[in-house]
């Protein structure tokens, strides 16, 4: 069982930010440190998730740059890049570091620019995202990420009878949740017709089946659970699973489910000593509506093939049996790639503290974060629990 805690959490609004990367990240990291009640001298290591700033801004080796801006120079710091799962793999290593006693306090976070500050058009930015696809087998045939998840979802539809209307219900739900999240990129509600009438991007995905390009940053402060005892409002990390899957997708073992997430979920539940029925809510990687369907199935909330009808039936909506993406998810909250993983953990922390206001999940004692990278090739699943 993992024995770590989050003692502080912070994030920026997701949307459009024209500040520099160190400024953007500071707007999440300093609130996280303040929330924990620690200062830069208390931080013993810093792990940073960032996916694409080499490509968008000719900016690499970003960890020490962020550290120096925050007054954290000197301590060990490094950048993790695992596409959309970048800050989750950073978090996994922070948990290992506090559990092994290597460090007492680790700052973990992510930041990304994908909009105006990059100076890139949507096609250019789509190519940047596409860098996570297989360089030799997928990129040359134009396999962008909408196409990738569209292929998986088409198979899901063919095998299980999943419909476009059911997929749309995922987007409608997440926009509803996002309308209650002041930090969401999209704060407006939409309906099924809005989704189905929006332009087709990659069949079966319409524009409103897809998450946006966002800028943003997020951060959490991690300690061992024992060390956390002296802090005000810690939330415990009780399980982590991390697994990968074959790329390119052409040779994956299955195309209607995400094996990396299935394996990672099994590992995370075993680590936490729980099963899917114990989970009260989840933040999942809904880069596309079809991805949320496969996420709730990978997490064992529903049998494979039943994830879409669950959304359509309202089971994953706030007030439903097990709310999914109460933050609005990537779909409505936004998706600043490297910031997404720790942003899920910020939402879990606040929900488990009972601090989520209008979108608070009732009885939130056990939450799960499901973060994926690339062509469903990386998955990190984290189980967090409120302190009794």
Residues that bind its own copies (CB under 8 A): 20-22, 51-52, 54-55, 57-61, 63-65, 67-68, 73-83, 89, 92-93, 96-97, 99-100, 102, 127-128, 130-132, 134-136, 139, 242-248, 251, 259, 263, 373-374, 377-378
What's the min distance (Å) between Cβ of 105 and its own copies? 16
Which one of 53, 84, 210, 287 is the catalytic residue? 84
What is the β-pairing status of strands 378-385 and 235-244? antiparallel
**Rounded alpha-carbon distances, angstroms, from residue 11 to 35, 39, 217:** 11, 17, 6
What's the min distance (Å) between Cβ of 89 and its own copies? 4
Whether 335 is catalytic is: yes
What's the min distance (Å) between Cβ of 1 and its own copies? 13
What is the β-pairing status of strands 235-244 and 281-283? unpaired
Neighbours of 353 (CB within 10 A): 18
272-276 CB contacts, 8 Å cutoff, 24+ apart: 272/1, 272/2, 272/238, 272/239, 272/383, 272/385, 273/1, 273/238, 273/239, 274/238, 274/239, 274/366, 274/383, 275/300, 276/300, 276/301
Q: Closer to its own copies by CB, 110 or 374: give it.
A: 374
Whether residue 248 is preceded by a cis peptide bond, meaning omega within 30 degrees of 0, is yes
What's the min distance (Å) between Cβ of 41 and its own copies? 15
Give strand pairing partners of 206: 200
Neighbours of 277 (CB within 10 A): 9
How crowded is the C-beta side of 188, counted as CA atoms within 13 Å? 4
* Eight-class DSSP state of 188: -
Q: Closer to its own copies by CB, 96 or 309: give it.
A: 96
What's the min distance (Å) between Cβ of 279 and its own copies? 22
What's the min distance (Å) between Cβ of 3 and its own copies? 12
Which of 221-237 are b and which e, b meaning 16 or more Cβ less than 10 Å from the residue's Cβ?
bbbbbebbeebebbbbb
Q: C-alpha 200: how far from its chain's center?
A: 25
What's the min distance (Å) between Cβ of 35 and its own copies? 24
Q: Which of 238, 292, 301, 314 is nearest to 270 (CA)?
A: 238
Which one of 134, 177, 335, 370 is the catalytic residue? 335
Q: Closer to its own copies by CB, 65 or 206: give it.
A: 65
**Rounded alpha-carbon distances, angstroms, from residue 75 to 25, 29, 78, 107, 169:** 17, 16, 10, 11, 46
- In angstroms, the CA 351 to CA 335 distance is 20
Q: Closer to its own copies by CB, 58 or 121: give it.
A: 58
- In angstroms, the CA 324 to CA 326 distance is 6
Whether 93 is catalytic is: no
Q: Closer to its own copies by CB, 96 or 192: give it.
A: 96
Write out the two tokens for 168. Answer: 């749309």
Q: Which are the contacts of 175, defined by CB distance < 8 A and separation ≥ 6?
A: 186, 188, 189, 190, 328, 331, 332
What's the min distance (Å) between Cβ of 153 and its own copies? 20
- Catalytic amino acids? 84, 335
């Amino acid at each position: 069982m993992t024995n770590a805690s989050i003692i502080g959490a912070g994030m920026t609004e997701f949307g459009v930010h024209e500040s520099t990367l160190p400024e953007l990240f500071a707007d999440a990291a300093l609130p996280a440190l303040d929330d924990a009640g620690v200062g830069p001298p208390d931080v013993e290591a810093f792990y940073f998730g960032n996916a694409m700033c080499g490509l968008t801004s000719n900016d690499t080796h970003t960890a020490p740059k962020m550290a120096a801006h925050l007054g954290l120079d000197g301590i060990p710091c490094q950048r993790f890049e695992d596409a959309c799962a970048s800050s989750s793999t950073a978090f996994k290593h922070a948990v290992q570091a506090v559990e092994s006693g290597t460090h007492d306090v680790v700052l973990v976070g992510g930041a990304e620019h994908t909009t105006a500050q990059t100076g890139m058009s949507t096609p250019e930015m789509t190519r940047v995202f596409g860098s996570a696809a297989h360089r030799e087998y997928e990129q040359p045939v134009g396999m962008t990420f909408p196409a990738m998840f569209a292929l998986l979802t088409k198979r899901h539809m063919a095998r299980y009878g999943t419909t476009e209307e059911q997929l749309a219900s995922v987007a409608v739900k997440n926009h509803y949740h996002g309308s209650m999240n002041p930090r969401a990129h999209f704060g407006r509600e939409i309906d099924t017709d809005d989704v189905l009438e929006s332009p087709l991007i990659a069949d079966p995905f319409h524009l409103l089946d897809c998450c946006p390009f966002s800028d943003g940053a997020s951060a959490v402060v991690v300690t061992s659970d024992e060390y956390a005892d002296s802090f005000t409002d810690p939330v415990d990390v009780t399980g982590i699973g991390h697994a990968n899957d074959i790329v390119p997708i052409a040779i994956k073992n299955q195309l209607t489910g995400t094996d990396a997430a299935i394996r990672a979920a099994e590992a995370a539940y075993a680590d936490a000593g729980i099963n899917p029925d114990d989970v009260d809510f989840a933040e999942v990687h809904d880069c596309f509506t079809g991805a949320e369907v496969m996420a709730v199935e990978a997490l064992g909330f529903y049998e494979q093939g039943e994830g879409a009808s669950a959304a359509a039936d309202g089971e994953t909506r706030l007030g439903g049996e097990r709310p999914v993406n109460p933050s609005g998810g990537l779909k409505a909250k936004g998706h600043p790639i490297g910031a997404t993983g720790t942003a899920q953990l910020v939402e879990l922390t606040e929900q488990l503290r009972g601090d989520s206001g209008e979108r608070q999940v009732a009885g939130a004692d056990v939450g799960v974060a499901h973060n994926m990278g690339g062509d469903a090739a990386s998955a990190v699943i984290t189980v967090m629990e409120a302190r009794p």
